[in-house]
Each structure stands twice: as structure tokens, then as C-alpha cells.
Structure 1
């Protein structure tokens, strides 16, 4: 190949220079140029394309502290659906199409399912105790987590009437929160989701009249730490692991060490407080059946190791949905504010199925008769994927893809946002258009995997979110119920003009930036029905 001939000539020239006697400044400069050219030529010849960076540092300085998926999308648009970069000496691959993600992360899941060592989020804060950062696929702990989740919230388990009933009941309480305080719509989905998962994971009932439940708040705070610690490039210690040995007192105000210590304390509270509640209730014979009680009882006399695994699994279940479902709900509210025609059509469908007299709220039994509402759910997942980058994968052995060499240890990011914004698959991707999932007769069409947000949005391979079916159910029943009883519209300014929200999402777990809208009951009958369903009439 041409690049090999060039390298050979460069090597010959360097050997000639070094054989001429003592080295000069020019000799050293030529040698440095040679090494840089050698690096660039080797990379161009054997690795996927991508932006060049400076030696060792790579392109780390080009990656922003937020919305990294947009920068990655720019590179994907320029270089193709496989982009190779170097970040602080670590080879990194950005995957920007469903085909490439399927070829690598799904079809070759045995070698693409590990996690890189996340020094900040995993080691220092402690998230490596749970499912998200657990190493795989040969790790018994990882397999233990997957078994527990598959049994409790897998596809079959999520059809259980008990779990479906819990989701419907908590959705009714969510509607009551909107009715009482419609301006605080950002907070209500967090409270509702936290209450639901506390009930499922620990059998803990959040008080209906509580302004802010302490356990819900504990999870919310811990998840804020998770999102920040997981952002690529947010903490220098992830790029320079040796920094973790620097004493805290040397760093200004304790630096990242103080931040990690605080985050770890918050995570420990999320692990310990609800688990301690379950143990106390079981000892008193008052425990409500839950994820935690079922597995503690299964072990009969659980060892400390058993308890630690169950505690970590329950916390993973709790933390996995505590912020992602609220992300979808607030994105839905934003979309309805901006696309009122979508809301009107969905409400007409709901009225035709349930009736306009407001005698009952939607249930999961209505789902097959609500194709347009289902299409809205899919479009919400596409328009704002809750975790646009997912969590990083790590390659455990050398691989070759499309003739490119990908070395062992490469960190792999699946840029889910790029896949769900691909205009060749989703024309005008910035437009919220549920009709893209319907046939001409208005029924849901069968989707190919590459165009199904309910698959792409939850990750790939052995790392796909085990709570995806539970999450999809929660988003569906939340959206269907809200559409049936509320009307969402633009707020007005002091001059009576519409306030048009910006379409902007931020955070590793992606939420719309704060915006204003009006949420009102569609009728007095709708308000009465909400109160009746939560026992306030």
C-alpha cells in the first residue's frame, strides 16, 4: 500500500540522519515530525476515519461538557457512521447508525458488552456496585443482576395485572398533582416515578399528601450525581486515573475528591435507607410484597453477600427509572405545547374509545385501540431519547469491522441521538410527527428494528435496559391519561402573545430546558374524575 511505502522512506531517512553523528536540533525536529506522520499514516490506513487531535490528548479538548451527542453527531455527519477518536490516550469509537450498532454491540455482544473503568462515577462515587457499571459478560455479578431483573420486570412480568395496576394507580396520583399545581409540571413526573418504583422495589408507600417524600428526594439527589459523574470529560480523573491518589487536601476546596465523597454519601443513602425500611418491616411482619422482599425470602437465610447483591439490584432498579421516565414525560408536554394539532387528534381518538362523558380513565386494556397515542409514545422516545449516548461499552479483544482494525480496550459510544435523528430513516427529524409510525388507514404499522425507538432508545446488546418494558408501560399510561383529562397549551406574556418554548435538551439524562406552558383540565367532569380516582370525592 502507498502509506507503507511512505513509512519505509521516512524510516530510511531517519536512519540516515541518526547515522550522521551527533544529533542537532533539526534532527530532533525531523524525528518528531516523522513520529507524528507515522502515527497519522498508520491510523489512516487501519482505523476508521475521524478528527485528528494532538498526541496523547487526542480530541479531548473538543468534547463539550454538555450535549456531547451533538458534537459526536457533527463528526458522524462528516466522517460517517463509524468515527475513531483518541481521548487522553484512550482509543474511542463513536457509532452513529443502527446498522453499525447492531453489527458490533448486538451481533458481537460477547466482546462489546464490557464497561470501561469509570473512575469518577464507578470507583470513587460507587456506581460500579450496581448494574449500570458492572463489568460483563463473564462477571457472575452481572449475570445475577440480569436474572433478577428478567424475572421481576422482564416482558412477561410486566404483563402481570398487579404491576399494571400499580402503574395505573400511580398515574392517577400524578394527574392529581397536575390538577393541584399545574405550574410545577417539571417536578410531578419525578415524584410520581419515584413513588412507583419505591413501591415496586421496596413496598414503600409514599404519603399522598406529602409535599416531598424523603426517600424520593434521596434518589433524586443521587441521580443528579450519577448524571454529572457519567458525562464524558466532566472529570479529569477519568482521563488521568492516577489523579485518584492525590490527597484531597492538596486540591482547591477538595476538588473532585470532595465532590466524589459527597456523591458517594448520597448514593449510600439511596442504597441503605429503603433497604433498611424493608428489613424493619419484614422483622415486624408488616412488609408489603416487593422486589426486595421476594429475593430476601427466596434466600431464606440470606448471607451478607446475598443482601449486598439484592440491595444493589433494588437500587439499580430504582435509579434506572427515577429520571428517565420523567425525561419522556416532560418532553411529551413540550411537544404538545408546540404541536397542538397532534394533541387534538390524540384526544379525539381517546374520546372515541373511552367516551367524552369522563366516566373512567384509560387503562392498559385500551392500548390496542389507541394507535395514535401509541405513535405519540414512540415519537417522544425518538424526539428526545432519555439517554442520548447511553453508557459506554468497552471492547474486550481485538476486532476487525469493514476492514478497519479496532483494538482491544477501545471505548465505544453508541450515539443513540444520531440514530433517531437520521433523516434517511426519519424525514424532517426535528419535527414531532407521530404519523410516521402509522399506515394510511391509521393503524400502527410493523416497524423494522432500525426505525423502532422503543428498541434503539434503550441501548444495545447485553447492555440493553432490563427495565425497558416497565418504562414503556409507564410512559404510555402517563401520556394516554394526561391527554384524556388535560389540555396543554402555550402560555401568554403580559401582552397576550403566545410564549413559544425553545426546543433544547440538556444533561446526560436528557431533559428539556425549563419552559412555560398552561395545563388545564379539559372539563369540570375531567377534574371530578381525577379526584374520584384518587379517593378525594
Structure 2
């Protein structure tokens, strides 16, 4: 063992010793007021029982035994899992001041600089300023000017499926990223594909690896970030450069085009044109608000990275929902026929649907909701952190507790009339049933609700309506094999097979529409 390794061991030992003393002081006298949870062991508690892989399944199964709130603790950490909409509303919405913080990520957040992005900013003046910018650019009225871009990019998706139907998984992934890159920075599809998506994929892959539990001891022992001789500091410095390039490069592109007077309409251009007295601070906020969208928009492979970087959710929600829709249509042909009939009643077979024509179709709306419910993109909502100690229903919740809303438990609440395991859009049309609308949990809660909800919904509606208009979605000839869904924070289907067959005459309609497109 060389000297650096000895130093590491000594540093770890001293840090752990100090941390353990802090833990004992912090938890003394609290046991009697903890929420129920799995059995604990002395000193290390029960947090070791919390398996991050598909945790939502186990946590939902534990609801019957432990109730709506489950408590994990140990190694200086407290985790509270919320399994009911009542608990979520009581804490995340009604007690916003206490439950609007994010957990601290020492390496990725502090040392690599990702903590400057809006999703990871703590609840405070800087976060509120960035959120105000996001609302300016992403409000329901503001995003109407992007409808034509979403429509034209959807036509491009249809054409790519016509040209290579077996690669629909990749086509959907690209359309989700292109929508965000085009709307955020005004990038052409070619420029986005050639110069930005690859860089973003590398950076997001790095972030994804950096946030895997156990990747850096400093995330458990933050004091180690002050020991600059430890090897992980070099990795953190490299990561910081990659993240800075990720958010600065496209911002510089918009600046150049604005200076030249050729910048197309985009979210970033709109925000930069706002008149703010402190220009430097304003541009810093625009860079990180836009960058939060871009990082997620260009990469949908690394689930951990997306969950950290995209509290805005547009891309991952679109990507997951469209793939879930394709899977469901192949598995439930009766649902597909009903949805196709509704779309064709509004739009003739000589052209493709426009967004304004399909937003008020009731069965399509029910299909969208069922996609969000049947396989939630974020089965465990993005974690919060308590800003102060709190008491709820007589139980003590210490400051710094990680709070996780379990969307899976909400989505799969038992119902006597409709099996939650089955894809049944009619559940949302049946007024006799008290079924929770997934729009209340698919995009977050309280102050941390996704500011880009309207943009994401528009992308989902226009893509689904056009797929229904242009294609019959069929299982493979040898039958559908339901895919595995990712086990991490964002859960989307692994690549699967099905057949997207153009409806009679629609291949020509799609190609003509693509030829007329300005994208």
C-alpha cells in the first residue's frame, strides 16, 4: 500500500469517526417518534435495505404493512417515502417552505458544478429567479409559438419510421432530443445531430456514472472534498469542464447568431432578449436554465443523469410516453382502433393532424393519461430534502431528510372496476370511479412541479395523434414480447420489436408533408 492509499484510509477513518459521532448526537432520543419502516440494526439502521433497483416495486408492496409513509435511516441519512396522494399533498404542496429543497450531491453537484442547474438549486432566491425565467419561456401561452416546430419535427419522425421501421426505438429517442434542442437554442436538425447530441451524450454518460451509489465515497462523507490529494478530485475537475462546455457551447451559438441578426426564434433567444439590469447574472441564469433542458434533451440513455439534470422533464417524459404508447397499441388493438377512429373523425386521410385539432379529443386524452399511468417515466419522483425539522401526524422528520414521492404506488392503487395492471383508457372516462388523474403526479408536485409541463404535453399529443393517423401498430409476426423496463430512476422500455405499417395512402401523405417542411 503506497503513501497515497494510506492517506486515503486515514482520511476515511477520521471522517467516518467524526461523522459517526455526529450521527449518534443527531439521532439520540428520536427513535420513539419515527415513522414505521423495515426492521433496523444498531448503528446502521435500515437504510441498507433500500435497494435502488426498481425500488418503487418494493416500496409499493410495503405500503400494506407500513402505511402511507415509510421511513429509512442510518449512516447519517434519513429517507421518507410517500405512498399516498394525501401525504404528498400535505407535505410537498401544503408545506412548500419545508419540502422544496433538493438533496446535496457533493461530487456532481458541488465539485462538478451541476448544482448550478435549476433542478438542483436549493429553495431560495437564485432558484426562484431561474424558475421565473423558465415560466416566462414555458408557460402554456408562451409555448404556442413552438407548435409548428413540434408538428414539423413529428413529420420528420414519421418519415424516418417509413424509411427504417425496425429502428423506431432510435427514431423516437432522436425526436425527443431534437424537439428540445430546436426549441431551446434554435438549432437545425443537422446541426443538433452533428455537433451537439454526441457531446451531450458523453457528458450525460459521465454524470450517470458519477451518481451511481458508491461511485464516490465523498457523497457519503462530504468532508473528503477538502482532501484535494485524493484521486477523485481529478475526475471531478474533468467532469466540471465537460458540464461547463455542455451549457456554454450552445449558449455561445445563440449569442453569435443574435449578433449576426440571424438567430431563429428559441427559448434561449427569448430569455436573452429580456431586459435585466444585472446582465451578467441574467445570462448566467439563462445559461443554466436552458442547459437543464438541453442536457436532458440530447440524451436519454443515462437514467441517473437525466433525473439529476432534468427537473424540467420534457424530454424523458416524451421519450418514455411515446414508447409506452407504441407498446400498448401493439398489445391492445381494440384501444388502437378506437383512438384511430377518433383522430380520423377530426382529420381527413389526405393530411396529417395539427396540434390544435387533437388537444380536445377525449379518447386520445384518456390514452395519454393511461400511458402516463401504466408505466410512469419517473416511478419515484425526484427527491426533495427537508429544509428544517418537521412534525407530521405526531412523527418527527429531521432536517435534511430525503423525501421521495412514490408515483408507482399512486398509479397502481387497486380498483374494483379496472385492473391497474391492464391498459384501459376508459378508466378516465368513467365518472362513477374515483381514479387519480396521472397529470397530478407525472410532472411533479408543489413548487418543484415541471415548468415545461405544457411543452411536454404538446409533444406527446402531436406525436401520438400522428402515429395513429399514419400507421397501424402491430405486434411482431411471432407475437409481442413485453420488454423489460429500466430499473433506475427513470424507467423506460428497453428496445423492443413491433411493426409500424403505413395505413393505405399515408406513406405518400407523409413524404409530401416532409418535402414541404422547413426543418
TM range (shorter): 0.7 to 0.9
Q: Which residue of 1 aligns with 2:90?
A: 103
Q: Does residue 1:58 correspond to 2:38, yes or no? A: no
Could you say which residue in structure 1 is the equivalent of 2:316? 323
What is the distance in 1 between the residues matched to 2:43 and 2:112?
27
Deviation at 1:289, TM superposition (A): 2.3
Q: Is 1:520 the counterpart of 2:497 in the alignment? A: no
Decide whether aligned partners of structure 1 residues 118 and 415 sit closer, same or farther in structure 2, where only a CA change above 3 A counts: same
Matched, 1:359 2:340: no
Which runs of 5 or more structure 1 residues have no equivalent in the other structure? 1-34, 440-444
Distance in 1 (CA, whole Å) between partners of 2:412 and 2:372 is 11
Q: Of residues 399, 411, 432 in structure 2, which corresponds to 1:408?
A: 399
1:506 to 2:487 alignment: yes
Q: Secondary structure of the equivalent of 2:490?
A: coil
Q: Which of these residues, 160, 176, 195, is aligned with residue 177 of structure 1?
A: 160
Q: TM-score, length-normalised on structure 1?
A: 0.81
Q: Does 1:490 align with 2:475?
A: yes
Contact 1:52/1:85 (8 A) holds in 2? no
Deviations 1:57-102 (A, max 9, x none): 3334323343222232233343111011114221211111111000
2:153–2:175 CA contact under 8 A, matched in 1: yes
2:146 is the counterpart of 1:155: no
| Structure 1 residues 371 and 86: alpha-carbon distance in aligned structure 2, compared to 1, 3 A threshold | same
Q: What is the CA-CA distance between 1:303 and the residue it aligns to?
A: 3.4
User: Hey, what does 1:27 align to over in structure 2?
Assistant: none
What is the 5 A alignment of 1:182-261? Answer: 182-207=165-190, 212-227=193-208, 229=210, 236-245=217-226, 250=231, 260-261=236-237
Q: Compute the displacement of 1:41 (Å).
A: 8.9
Q: Which residue is equivalent to 1:22?
A: none
* Cα offsets for 1:408-427 (capped at 9, x unmatched): 22111111121111114994
The DSSP-based 3-state class of the residue aligned with 2:273 is helix
CA contact (8 A) 2:47 2:72 kept: no
Q: Distance in 2 between matches of 1:214 and 1:360?
A: 33
Note closer, same or farther for the CA distance 1:332–1:56 as it changes in structure 2 (3 Å cut): farther
Describe how 1:373-392 pairs up with structure 2 within 5 A: 373-392=364-383
* Superimposed CA distance per residue, residues 236-291 of structure 1 (whole angstroms, 9 cap, x where no aligned partner): 432222343455765xxx6xx56655544442232022111111112222111222
Q: Do 2:330 and 2:480's aligned partners in 1 also have CA atoms closer than 8 Å?
A: no
**Alignment partners' CA distance in 2, 1:431 and 1:108:** 35
Cα separation, 2, equivalents of 1:106 and 1:446? 27
In the superposition, relative to structure 1, how do residues 429 and 153 fare at CA in structure 2: closer, same or farther (>3 Å)? same
Residues 411-468 of structure 1 deviation map (CA, whole Å, 9 limit, x = unaligned): 11111121111114994222111111114xxxxx6997x7111121111111111111
State the alpha-carbon separation in 2 of the partners of residues 248 and 489 from structure 1.
Answer: 58
- Aligned with 1:345 (options 332, 338, 341): 338
In 2: Cα distance, 1:220 partner to 1:377 partner: 28
Summarize the Cα distance change of 1:395–1:300 in structure 2 as closer, same or farther, 3 Å threshold: closer
Q: Secondary structure at the match of 2:162?
A: helix
Deviations 1:132-190 (A, max 9, x none): 10000xx22111111111111112223x2x22222111111111121111122222122
CA RMSD of aligned residues (A): 2.8
Separation (CA, whole Å) in 1 of partners of 2:111 and 2:122: 16
Structure 1 consecutive aligned stretches of length 4 or more whose deviation exceeds 6 Å: none
Q: Which residue of 2 aligns with 1:72?
A: 59
Pair 477,412 (structure 1): closer, same or farther in 2 beyond 3 Å: same
Cα distance in 2, alignment partners of residues 428 and 241 from structure 1: 46
Larger of the two Rg values belongs to structure: 1
* Partner residue of 1:145 out of 121, 126, 130: 130
Q: TM-score, normalised by structure 2?
A: 0.84
Q: Determine if contact 2:359/2:461 at 8 Å carries over to the other structure.
A: no
How far does the alpha carbon of each residue in 1:468-500 deviate from its partner, in whole angstroms, 9 at most, with x for none?
Answer: 1111111111111111111222223xxxx3242
Q: 2:270 aligns with which of 284, 289, 294?
A: 294
1:437 aligns with 2:428: yes
Cα 1:226–1:338, aligned 2, differ >3 Å: closer, same or farther? farther
Q: Which residue of 2 aligns with 1:532?
A: 512
Determine if contact 2:52/2:488 at 8 Å carries over to the other structure: no
Cα shift at 1:121: 3.3
CA contact (8 A) 1:67 1:506 kept: yes
Mapped to 2, the partners of 1:472 and 1:226 lie a distance apart of 27
What do the CA deviations read for 1:169-218 (whole angstroms, capped 9, x no partner)?
Answer: 1111111121111122222122212222222211111129x9x4331333
Does residue 49 (structure 1) correspond to residue 30 (structure 2)? The answer is no
Contact 2:331 2:480 (C-alpha < 8 Å) held by counterparts: no
- 1:17 corresponds in structure 2 to none
| 1:473 corresponds to | 458
Distance in 1 separating the partners of 2:93 and 2:222: 30
Rounded to whole Å, the distance in 2 between the matches of 1:258 and 1:489 is 50
Q: By how many angstroms is 1:501 displaced? A: 2.3
Q: What does residue 68 of structure 2 align with?
A: 81
